[in-house]
Amino acid sequence: MDRHVRTTFAVIATLALMMVGIACSVAPEEKLIRDFFRASRLRDYAALGNFATATFDPQSDGQVQNLKVISVSPERSTPYPIKQYAKAFDDAKAADDSFTRDKNDYQRVNLDAIKRVVNAEVTKKPLDKKDVPIKDSWERLRDDSAKHAKTVSDARVELNRVKGLAELSLSRPNGPTPDVTKFDGNLVQKDVTIDATVAPPQGPPAQKTLTVTIERCVGKGADGKDVTGRWIVTHVKGA
């Protein structure tokens, strides 16, 4: 075979391999996001629980049938706030415990009057004038009790959210759950904007621009070694 022909074949073969490599290469963000929407479409919550805290419910948000990554934002880094959220929860719990003690003390001292107030509420009978101050105080205590309970619940949700994100990011397949309270580092976040074909629960598919936020932990583990966590899907905007 002529040397020129052999050279031409070699160039063509090299270009073909390069094109295959380009076609097969997928940005890590795109693979993660495709996996997220595929698992969401199939309602594979077991799979989603391994790499996402966000949801894209096919019954309300629709099903992403196809997507193309438009842009990826620069990374944003903030200190991992586990101590901040842990303190907020501890403070809320301590305030609730103190309030509950005061409420219980008031209830013990005024138990008979409170029973009359509650009975009047149930039977819708007029309340004796002397019990009106007790009624006002008891209603205020019940309202404050609900507020304290909500504050504790909200603080617990936020603490668990931050812990859950770090546990997912820093965990390894079939490995133990990492103790993220000893992790020292940052939460790294970036936004991936995609053009998606979304089939709604009813009606024809439509093109939508969605912004998918992904996050991971980067820093030092409990043993002091550098660790870089996996990217986790945490939010989808534009559904």
Residue 125 lies in a domain: yes
Residue 8 lies in a domain: no
CATH number at residue 210: 3.10.450
Q: In total, how many domains does the chain have? A: 2
Task: Return d(Cα 232, Cα 41) in angstroms, integer.
Answer: 18
Residue 196: beta bridge partners? Answer: 67, 208
pLDDT at 23 over 50: no
Given this model, what pLDDT does residue 57 score?
A: 94
Determine the structural domain holding residue 229 and report its residue range. Answer: 30-80+183-237
Residue 1 lies in a domain: no
Average pLDDT, the chain: 88
58 and 121 housed in the same domain? no
Residue 10 lies in a domain: no
Last residue of a domain, one of 164, 192, 223: 164
88 and 76 housed in the same domain? no
72 and 187 housed in the same domain? yes
Residues 214-235 have a mean pLDDT of 93
pLDDT at 21 over 90: no
Reduced to 3 states (helix: H, G, I; strand: E, B; else coil), residue 12 is helix
86 and 160 housed in the same domain? yes
Residues 76-99 have a mean pLDDT of 94
Residues 14-34 have a mean pLDDT of 63
Given this model, what pLDDT does residue 60 score?
A: 93
Banded pLDDT at 20 (limits 50, 70, 90): very low
96 and 38 housed in the same domain? no
106 and 150 housed in the same domain? yes
Helix, strand, coil percent values for the chain (each to nearest 5): 55, 25, 25
The pairing of strands 76-79 and 63-72 is: unpaired
Banded pLDDT at 28 (limits 50, 70, 90): confident
pLDDT digits (tens, 9 = 90+) for 42-87: 999 999 999 999 999 999 999 999 999 999 999 999 999 888 898 9
62 and 91 housed in the same domain? no
Reduced to 3 states (helix: H, G, I; strand: E, B; else coil), residue 68 is strand
Place of tokens 């094109």: 19
